[in-house]
Structure 1
Amino acid sequence: MRKPRSHSPDGVPDLPAMPGWVGGGAVEAIETAAFRSGAALAHLQVLAADPALPLALLRDRLALAAAEVCVGAAGRREGQAALRDALHLTKPGDDSGPAGRILRLWSQAVTRPVSVGGLAKVLEGVPADRIASSLDAGGATPVGRAAVALESVLTDSPRGETAALVLADAVLSHSLGWDHLVPLISVALRPRALRLRGDELRLACHRAVAEGAGQAVALAADLARRAVRMRAAAPKLRAKGAARAVELFLARDAVAPAALAREVQGSMSDRAARRLCDRLVDLGALRELTGRDTFRLYGL
């Protein structure tokens, strides 16, 4: 696979944007939609080969976007900020609430390699044999196979939107030869499309993949630039456990200082974790995501 090699003088990768024709205008013919979704996936596949791109972080941030869609489909109104709070500010062992559980499910799904066993651990209510048959299903296109998996779960469990979308994106990723689930259908499929069946649902999935891949490409370009700044700042850090902290920030959408201290247990106190986060903000390598003075969350 050819790797993109264009970089700016300061070492920041210049990842090419998705061609405008891929997502431009409404598409009614399924053949045209399939061509566009295929082109979008091919473009994303090339970008994913760039070593500057923090793929784990891209997946986790797309998981946040997918969770927001699923929360909306369930009739709830929590946005991304509320979802982050529900997941990251809930004490270990406490219930993070419906929204937090949806984000936790997505975060676990994109972290585990795509496999029957891995998906069975996060998809409650979806039998392992259903997961296995979906991952091994044949079909003309990866998107078509994903649409079949989506329809199958929704037919048996009309209220199981989140599990259905996770499985659909898992089938898509598996069909493309990717080791981990990349949320694409889920970040762009309209909730009303979950009521469609047959060719109408397949058309909606092709449209969603083209749009979702476009979102992923734009996000990838932004994260690649931010990752360069984080890696450049790493040698300036003197705190014990700083190397592990940098690894976490390059892999997770958001990190609370308390969680950071737990991850590097024995090397960093809560106060030291907060100081490290603020130091990275001062260096321009990290953002504080909440805008609050307390209960802060940090991420690229």
Structure 2
Amino acid sequence: MTKIRPKTSDAPMLVGPLPGWITAAPAETLEDAAFRSGAALAYLHMISGQEAVPQPLWRDRLALAAAEVCVGFSGRREGGHALRDALHLTRPGDHPGPAGAIFGQWSRAVARPISVAHLGKAMDGVSAERVALCLDAMGSNPVDRAAGVIEAVLAGLPRGETVALILADAVLAKSVGKEHILPLMSLGLKPRELRLREDALRLACHRAVLVGAGQAVPLAADLARRAARLQAVVPKLRAKGADRAVDLFLARDALAPGALLGFMSDRAARRLCDRLVDLGAVRELTGRDSFRLYGV
């Protein structure tokens, strides 16, 4: 299994807060908004190169936030706890429900590099032709291309908010030279803004990037600290397969002990999760005595 642990000892953590001037005041004009969103994307580009930040985990936790937004677009009220339960505690072959399906689409979309084949599989019922057209979107800058994708997708799929936002964030990431989707624009758009057109939609999308960056940057810093703490306790772990379990925790928003059964017993998996909680390296995310989920 490929190791994805961040290096934490060679260099200090370099993830500082997003500069205040980028988000201090509302961006009133399209030009101002484009300048600020470009600055935010440049800052995120720097963070995405930091080895201390567990990149797969960062993407997956932002995918949870994006899924919450999309669930809200559909008129449902499920929050993060319910989405995690739906995705991680549904039996194989069973449907996770509408909200769980939305989270599943986002989680699959961010897990692997951007491609027509992968995104077609991640989003149920979306043709490869539609994905390919979106990934080839044209525009004067990355955010404008992503805005054009939202407009085009919703013109053909009026209730396809989740598909539109996944593809928009895919185009945004691809346009700035990234291999994976980092949910950003999806975090800041309001339902009414998705129905805007042309310059009004582009302005909303530039503003949404600022909102998304405002969530993504502090999350990256927090996860870097948590990942360093998890890495520090690895020498204290004696369970067979503990290294592989740590790699999974650094890649997933949440895990049930059953996710570790491919390389350790059920009892060993539960004991390891509880041991990591005792060491302050992971958190139990549900507050329950059973059907527990754990995450960094």
TM tier, shorter chain?
Answer: over 0.9
Q: How far has the Cα of 1:130 moved from its partner?
A: 2.5
What's the counterpart of residue 269 of structure 1?
265
Amino acid at match of 2:39: A
Q: How far has the Cα of 1:258 moved from its partner?
A: 1.4
Q: Indicate conservation of the 8 Å contact 1:8/1:14, yes or no.
A: no
2:210 aligned with 1:210, yes or no? yes
Stretch of structure 1 that moved more, 126-135 or 7-16: 7-16
What's the counterpart of residue 30 of structure 1?
30
What's the counterpart of residue 104 of structure 2?
104
What's the counterpart of residue 4 of structure 1?
none
Q: How far has the Cα of 1:124 moved from its partner?
A: 3.2
- The percent of aligned pairs where both chains have the same amino acid is 65
Q: Indicate conservation of the 8 Å contact 1:169/1:181, yes or no.
A: yes
2:284 aligned with 1:288, yes or no? yes
2:195 aligned with 1:192, yes or no? no
2:226 is paired with a residue of what secondary structure? helix
Q: Indicate conservation of the 8 Å contact 1:70/1:102, yes or no.
A: yes
Amino acid at match of 1:116: V
Amino acid at match of 2:277: V
What's the counterpart of residue 299 of structure 1?
295
**Partner Cα separation in structure 2 for residue 137 and residue 195 of structure 1:** 19
Q: 1:11 to 1:239 in 2, by over 3 A?
A: farther
Q: Indicate conservation of the 8 Å contact 2:147/2:205, yes or no.
A: yes
User: Gaps spanning 5+ residues in structure 1: where?
Assistant: 1-6
Q: 1:286 to 1:12 in 2, by over 3 A?
A: farther
Amino acid at match of 2:287: G
Amino acid at match of 1:21: W
What's the counterpart of residue 249 of structure 2?
249
Amino acid at match of 1:252: R
| TM-score for both structures, normalised by structure 2 | 0.94
Q: Deviations over 1:198-229 (max 9, x none)?
A: 11111111000011012111100000000001
What's the counterpart of residue 75 of structure 1?
75
Q: Indicate conservation of the 8 Å contact 1:12/1:225, yes or no.
A: no
**Partner Cα separation in structure 2 for residue 286 and residue 279 of structure 1:** 9
Where in structure 2 are the equivalents of 1:125-136 lying within 5 Å?
125-136=125-136
Q: Indicate conservation of the 8 Å contact 2:8/2:52, yes or no.
A: no
**Partner Cα separation in structure 1 for residue 245 and residue 188 of structure 2:** 32
Q: Indicate conservation of the 8 Å contact 1:71/1:78, yes or no.
A: yes
**Partner Cα separation in structure 2 for residue 12 and residue 297 of structure 1:** 31
**Partner Cα separation in structure 2 for residue 39 and residue 203 of structure 1:** 15
Q: Indicate conservation of the 8 Å contact 1:189/1:205, yes or no.
A: yes
| TM-score for both structures, normalised by structure 1 | 0.93
What's the counterpart of residue 183 of structure 1?
183
Q: Indicate conservation of the 8 Å contact 1:109/1:166, yes or no.
A: yes
What's the counterpart of residue 4 of structure 2?
none
Q: Indicate conservation of the 8 Å contact 2:40/2:213, yes or no.
A: yes
Q: How far has the Cα of 1:236 moved from its partner?
A: 1.1
1:63 is paired with a residue of what secondary structure? helix
Where in structure 2 are the equivalents of 1:36-47 lying within 5 Å?
36-47=36-47
RMSD: 1.7
Amino acid at match of 2:286: T
**Partner Cα separation in structure 2 for residue 128 and residue 234 of structure 1:** 42
Q: How far has the Cα of 1:35 moved from its partner?
A: 0.5
Q: How far has the Cα of 1:11 moved from its partner?
A: 7.3
2:146 aligned with 1:146, yes or no? yes
Q: How far has the Cα of 1:12 moved from its partner?
A: 6.4
Q: Indicate conservation of the 8 Å contact 1:12/1:228, yes or no.
A: no
What's the counterpart of residue 17 of structure 1?
17
Q: How far has the Cα of 1:139 moved from its partner?
A: 1.5
Q: How far has the Cα of 1:126 moved from its partner?
A: 3.2
User: Gaps spanning 5+ residues in structure 2: where?
Assistant: 1-6
